[in-house]
Amino acid sequence: MEIPKHIFKGYDIRGLVPDEINEGNIYPIAQAILHFFQSKLKRKALRLVVGHDMRTSAPRLYPLLKQGLIDGGAHIMDVGLVSTPTCYYAVLDLKADGGIQLTASHNPPAYNGIKMVMRDGETITKIGKSTGILDIRASALDAVALSEPGGQEERVEGIIEREIDYAFSHVDPSRFKPFTVVADPANAMAITYLEPLFKRLPGKLIKMNFELDGSFPAHQPDPLVFENLRDLRARVVAEKADFGLAPDGDGDRMFFIDEKGQIVTGAQSTALVARELLRATPGSTILFDIRYTMTPQAIIEENGGTSVVTKVGHAYITEELNTRHGIYGGESSEHNFFQWTGGAESQLIMVLLVMKIMSDSGKTLSALVEEIRRSFESGEHNFQTDHAAEILEALKSKYGDGRLSELDGVAIAYPDWRFNVRTSNTEPLMRLNLEATGEALMQDRLHELQALLLAHGAKPHGD
């Protein structure tokens, strides 16, 4: 039984099956997770929610994951085949001590993994590099073994309907217009909540790739790779739909497509929802990540809110949202976080809020986006380099007259444009994001930054 050290990532556990995660090591990994929870909470008898996604390795791995927890004395509440946000919701709804979801998110079919959370009252703490995953890794590599009496399994039914009921309690759909919506969940987990959601809403749901299939026969379930959205964008236009939905593999991200087939960026949807929430709760705090800040920051401040810029990473934003008592946080990759769900993601609530905004305003999604647009975004450009530190210093030197932030990499802002360059946690990559008040200015500055990176030996990667 070998457990590779590198499967313990910044926000979760993730690896190839069977080379890195398999039937021989999933049990001791589960025991290491339980040992961490028991040590943190200072008691042995814990109540834990467990769930899994549709990956083809789940039927082999999931029973062994559960057994490792039961043998360690845990009372597990099995919610079965659910999205990651549904697992998070169940932790709060069932007042569990924590939750464990067997998933590899948007990764290709050969992967599987584990996301973990703990409950602190009405908030969620995600287990990542800064909150305990290194302790779990140490216990797993040390082959910690637990054997405690009292472990048991309970099957929980109906959790998705309860999650929808809860979302309706915060966003009343009774006055929604009957929209036509095209959704492409890429044969992945958002199917489990989108289908029952739209059965309870007026209008029409046009379904693409709605059969759960862990081999992802249509395309990879990663909406941040915009090539994966091509068919959905065309279908929205062809069907004369009001908008489209593009969730990721485990259902904790959701991109919107407007009625013209254009992609609504994460910063734009954040600003749109921020404006709506601030009308109901003036003066509230709203968070967004450092990649694109011009649109959300302007909209939040124009509407009397307090804006907070965060590092990139969904675990960081959940932590910051709870620490700062924010009501909402949006990330450029379309994670959307709500105080209502303990600081965790809820794409159910996000979809309902966008539908409410459209219904109340009577405007198309493209018109609403143009109302709140304060910048044009470059999209993320990746570069391979072994000279990251040298490049970051060169950027600070060349653009020394701009406003500098080193919250996450290097971000430098001017009145009419800004950029962020940061390094990957897992690969020798630099990620460039740039925005400006005009599209031509954005393109000019993007070419300028790209030339600087290339001059320092960086090579384009995957653009």
- Among residues 57, 83, 105, 269, which one is catalytic? 105
The token pair that represents 338 in the structure block = 């709500």
Does residue 105 carry a catalytic annotation? yes
Rounded-to-integer distance, Cα 205 and Cα 198, Å: 7
Tokens 């703490």 found at: 125
Rounded-to-integer distance, Cα 29 and Cα 412, Å: 42
At residue 339's C-alpha, the angle toward residues 338 and 341, to 5°, is 70
The catalytic site residues sit at 105
